[in-house]
Amino acid sequence: MTPSQAISAEPAGRGRAFAVVIMLFLFQTLNFFDKLVFGLSAVPMMKELALSPKEFGLIGSSFFLLFSLSGMAVGLFVIGRFPTKWILIILAAVWSATQIPIFFSSSVAVLIACRIVLGAGEGPGLPTALHACYNWFAADRRSVPSAVVLQGISVGLLVGGPFLTAIIVNYGWRTGFLVCGLLGLAWMLAWVVIGGEGPYAATHASHDALPSAATVPAKLLWGDPTVIGVIIMSTMSYWIVGMSATWLPPYLQLGLGYKPTDVGWIIFGIYLFQSPLLLGGSWITQIMQRSGWSLRACLGNTSGLALLAAGCALLLTLVTTGPLQLVCIAIAFAAPSLTTIFGPVALGAVAPAVQRGRLIVVIYSGNAASALLSNALTGWIVGEAGANVALGYAYAMTFTAGILIVGAIAAFALIFPERTIARFASMAPMAARAV
């Protein structure tokens, strides 16, 4: 009996798979609580600690100092050697351990140190969660579970906006960090019971396109146009994803003039749009894929369209006002997340199972290096505008729109999964003989 038949035939196994997905969904929710609490605390934090926009931007970017390096290290040296269940427990423990000390300290140095270590813990989080999800579902059924996991991002921003804002307004900005740390501890206790390895892990991967024992030479794998296209596309996409939690709240408040109590609800509305976008987009592309549409159309073209729409919407925010402006902001900040579904699914479709986890974790950790630059550069651009804060944000958003359009061009020009599968399949007999 194949793994897919086992899941279909055994309700317990199917229920376990969906329980794991829900836990990974909550994992991502906590991930973005941890990110969002910093941005929501921006104004009172800058006032109390006497931080300029440039200094705040640098502290925000410090979160990403080890973000990519730790993710790539986990992808290269940990994934495939240790169960993902325990990897995720360790990551969640780091999250909690770096949030709670902020509650007890008024030191900028402690804040920076905690943000750096938190970034190191969160770097491997999303790609490892997606890899853990893929271990429970067949290749042509991964888009929707991936979207559910990524809904944690939307819910983290959706619920986190008003929830953490209320805590910060009523109990102080430090309490927001304490709450995030305690929620992480609660998740760990539940994951100890529910987490585990699925039937589609590498050791059970005889159903993959390439033989499970076969590998693709590293030079061929990493030099493939589809893989390069995903690298460029995901890096450009993460530019805005990485800066959103830090800079979207102060942009709404200081750049557009909204009240602090309104900002949380505006973010709620923006990311309310993201939930149906991710679920609907992934569901449609999964149906298209199973109906015979090419992976190129389902994954490559849709990624390019998502980034192109986001870039254009961000430019439109500069010439619109009111509700229309908020709609454009919603598209600009939500649509790039679609590439976080389609990119890993494309990599999972083309790579041998034994190399899939490492490929996804390394790429989707390394791409976060763009957030290190985007947070610092956004702060620098806004700061250079001096007293004209609105103009500074206009320049920053224009530059970000250009980054998104570059990512769209890469997706359109390079992501051709069918060609990659054929190329790798032709190498499988040779690779198998070399083993």
Tens of pLDDT, residue by residue over 232-245, are 999 999 898 878 76
Q: What is the mean pLDDT of residues 282-286?
A: 83
Distance in angstroms (rounded) separating the CA atoms of residues 177 and 52? 21
Q: How far apart are CA 426 and CA 424, in angstroms?
A: 5
On whether the 3-434 domain is CATH 3.40.630.30, my answer is no
Mean pLDDT, rounded, for 400-410: 95
The length of the chain is 435
pLDDT at residue 407 is higher than 60: yes
What is residue 6's predicted lDDT score, i.e. its pLDDT?
A: 36
Task: Give the model's confidence band at 13: pLDDT under 50 very low, under 70 low, under 90 confident, else very high.
Answer: low
Cβ–Cβ under 8 Å, residues 75 and 357: yes
Q: What is the pLDDT of residue 413?
A: 95
Backbone angles phi, psi at 291, to 5 degrees: -95, 0
Q: Which two tokens stand for residue 91?
A: 């990551």
Higher pLDDT, 401 or 262: 401
Q: By C-alpha distance, which of 379, 378, 372, 380 is closest to 398?
A: 378
Task: Compute the average pLDDT of residues 81-91.
Answer: 87
Query: At residue 304, does pLDDT exceed 90?
Result: yes
pLDDT reading at 283 higher than 80: yes
Mean pLDDT of the chain: 81
- Confidence (pLDDT) at 387: 78
Is pLDDT at 385 greater than 90 in this prediction?
no
Range scoring the smallest mean pLDDT among 258-267, 279-288, 366-375: 258-267
Mean pLDDT, residues 380-397: 84
**Mean of the pLDDT values across residues 211-226?**
78
Minimum mean pLDDT among 160-164, 309-313, 352-356, 374-378: which range? 352-356
**CA 294, CA 221: separation in Å to the nearest integer?**
21
Q: What is the percent of the chain where pLDDT is above 90?
A: 19
Q: Cα angle vertex 358, ends 348, 278, to 5°?
A: 45
Most confident residue range from 2-11, 62-71, 328-337, 358-367 = 328-337
Nearest-angstrom CA–CA distance, 72 and 66: 10
Q: Convert the pLDDT of each residue in 160-205 to its tens digit.
A: 878 888 898 888 888 988 999 999 999 999 998 887 777 666 554 4
Backbone dihedral region for residue 257 (phi beyond 0: left; psi -120 to 50: alpha; all else: beta): left
Please say whether the beta carbons of 127 and 363 come within 8 A: yes
Helix 302-316 vs helix 339-350: crossing angle, to nearest 10: 160
Residue-level pLDDT at 429? 53
Residues 6 or more apart in contact with residue 185 via CB below 8 angstroms: 96
Res 132: pLDDT: 84
Q: What is the mean pLDDT of residues 142-147?
A: 79
Task: Give the pLDDT score at 234.
Answer: 92
Which range has the worst mean pLDDT, 22-26, 276-280, 335-339?
Answer: 276-280
Q: Which of 48-52, 174-178, 301-305, 329-333 has the highest mean pLDDT?
A: 301-305
Give the pLDDT score at 193. Answer: 87
The secondary structure of the chain, three-state, reads CCHHHHHHHCHHHHHHHHHHHHHHHHHHHHHHHHHHHHHHCHHHHHHHHCCCHHHHHHHHHHCCCCHHHHHHHHHHHCECCECHHHHHHHHHHHHHHHHHHHHCCCCHHHHHHHHHHHHHHHCCHHHHHHHHHHCCCCHHHCHHHHHHHHHHHHHHHHHHHHHHHHHHHHHCHHHHHHHHHHHHHHHHHHHHHHCCCCCCCHHHCCCCCCCCCCCCCHHHHHCCHHHHHHHHHHHHHHHHHHHHHHHHHHHHHHHCCCCHHHHHHHHHHHHHHHHHHHHHHHHHHHHHHHCCCCHHHHHHHHHHHHHHHHHHHHHHCCCCCHHHHHHHHHHHHHHHHHHHHHHHHHHHHHCCHHHHHHHHHHHHHHCCHHHHHHHHHHHHHHHHCCCCHHHHHHHHHHHHHHHHHHHHHHHHHHCCHHHHHHHHHHHHHHHHHHC
Listed in sequence order, the residues at least 6 apart from 73 whose beta carbon sits closer than 8 Å to its beta carbon are none
Between 435 and 124, the more confident residue is 124
C-alpha–C-alpha distance, residues 250 and 267, integer Å: 11
What residue type is 291 in one-letter code? S
- 345 close to 134: Cβ distance less than 8 angstroms: no
pTM of the model: 0.70
